[in-house]
Structure 1
Amino acid sequence: MRRSLAAAAPALVVATALVAAGGLAACRRAAPALPEVRLHASPDLPAEVVRDLAARFAVARVVLVPRAEEAEVAWASDPAALLALAPRLVPGSAAPEPATAQFADPQGRFAPVAARARVLLVARDARLPVDPTNLRDLADPRLRGRVALAHPARGAGPATCAALSLVYGEASLGRFLRLVAANAPVVVGSDAEVRAAVAAGRAAVGLAGSVDGAAGAASAAALRVVYPDQAGRGAVVLPTAAAALAPAAGGAPSPAAVRLVAWLAGADAERILVARAPGLLPLRPEVPVPVGVEPAGNLRALPLDWDGLAAEAARLAPLLERWPDAFAGAGTGRGAAREAAAPEGRPGRLEHAP
């Protein structure tokens, strides 16, 4: 009997292994597949990071698509860009968290996902006659020929100018843009080129986004990052914006799309995004940040209405294409009337009086 059992032992081992393997295979087959969600993101956002993280956290299988028309979720550079998709946005589909309420949409059409600020990049070894702390310093004649900026019709330019116009008035914005143009700036095509110009010594001060600010601070050039106007009205700080989109034919966003947006706007995703994409500013103060980066809540930021920002950015876009010629006058819009009615030396004015 003992010999029979001994002879049968190898067969039992094999059978047991097969059963175990079958059981593991059954468990693998039983695991639910992640829902597929089509995501369209602005080219300047780290969409591949979101795709990988969503799979790792078992949120969704994200498929990146090149056009918003094909997407179930849109992730835009700023609220103005996101609100251009208004027909497919559903009020209340993105419930704001208390930690991010400052940058949320009151109608719940989108969720804020970290933020980016317009910053000044200053060369460490530059001997400047003035220490730049405000946007209006870009027009200071003492910095003539030493300032770099992207053309205001490119990148974040329209949203930035729209924010300034809403807060300071169109006439003040036009005046500022004229003075900057008269200051012989180094005009380039992107914020990355601004950073390169300051790092290479072709300019001493540059206007760029906080992503390029973080890159400049961490580079061999060790550029200094200044969040402007912190003693005044505040910096231009805009959240990136994510929304679950309704189908083009109407109806509600898919549950998987709503879940992806809620996760993307949550604390876990924010911590990793801020670490993987330096220069994205966390909306939560407890999130660690790299050199040159501040949590958005620590900054004094211009108070903005997102619908107003979207409308003003769209209105200014064709004018900015013709900068500086289109700003030869004092302006004719609502902002101009508001500016004309204000005293010349009012506190918080965008630029100094000549």
Structure 2
Amino acid sequence: MSDNPFADPFSAPPPPPAAAAAASKPTSGGTIETEDFNPFANRAGGSNAQPTTHQSTGSLGNKSAGMDDELFRKQQDLERRAQELRMREEELDRRQRSAAGGNNLNTNAQNNAPRPHNWPPLPTIIPIEPCFYQDIEVEIPVQFQKTVTFAYYVFLMYVLALVVNVLASLFYMIFAGGSIGQLFLACIQLALFSPCSFLFWFRPVYKAFRNDSSFNFMVFFFVLFFHCIFTFVQTLGLSNYACGWINALDTFNVSVPIALLMLISAITFTVALTGMVTALVKVHRLYRGAGFSIDKARQEFTNGVMSDAGVQRATQAATQAAAGAAFNQATQGRF
């Protein structure tokens, strides 16, 4: 409704107050300004607001790069864990297959039946059965299989060196004036040191990695260290002990073919000695990294050997015999 009820209805309506104030506002020259509108004001404001957009885009890029790095690290961690799980699964499957390879009559008999011996791999013509069961891929953990295989090849190399030593000593005695004592010693070394090497340093390292036994590690280190010294003497070829470097070089003045054969024996002893030292260093590194110690070996010896019933009976009998001898000696001196 209009504020004036008596106004002319056909006259123009009065302008609004804001428009009237803008129309009646005088300019600096005394004239009245009719319109004060700048259409380019929003563009200026938009150009001033543009750096803020670039800054927000840069911060989003940095955040996305950081997220990509974090996702890459997480993916690598997941892949590493998946590989470890696969290795453990393969080892468990291998052990389950070995446990189920005994008797096929029932499941309990399969798990508890002893494994058939397969070493040494003798031909069926010889009426002697193998003495040990040995399977590195079944009994040894995956991370130690290469080390145990290397030790086994070192043992075979040493046996080969002993065989070549026997042949070289034989030809040296026949064609180069060698002594029969050297051939006799070479045969004794082949017959004695081949099984002793297997029993006293290869078999302990095999059982050490298989059973996680510190005591077997100690036996391996002790025996192989002195065996390395012994093999070094064989490699040198001092006197008539073995066909090594010294007596092989001296034989060139007598017979070149025999000297070459003796030189082959010296080379095989050198390769075997190098392998022994390398195996000793490798196993020692794994031994130190796994946290074994002399105290653990002593504890295993106490729990394993001294707790055996036969050992306890023998110790008790020896103690009773010593006590009886001491008592008899004391009573004889008194009466």
The answer to whether TM tops 0.5 is no
Q: Which has the higher helix share?
A: 2
Q: Which has the larger share of strand? A: 1
TM-score normalised by length of structure 2? 0.25
**Structure having greater relative contact order (Cα 8 Å, sep ≥ 6):** 1
If the length of structure 1 is used for normalisation, what is the TM-score?
A: 0.24
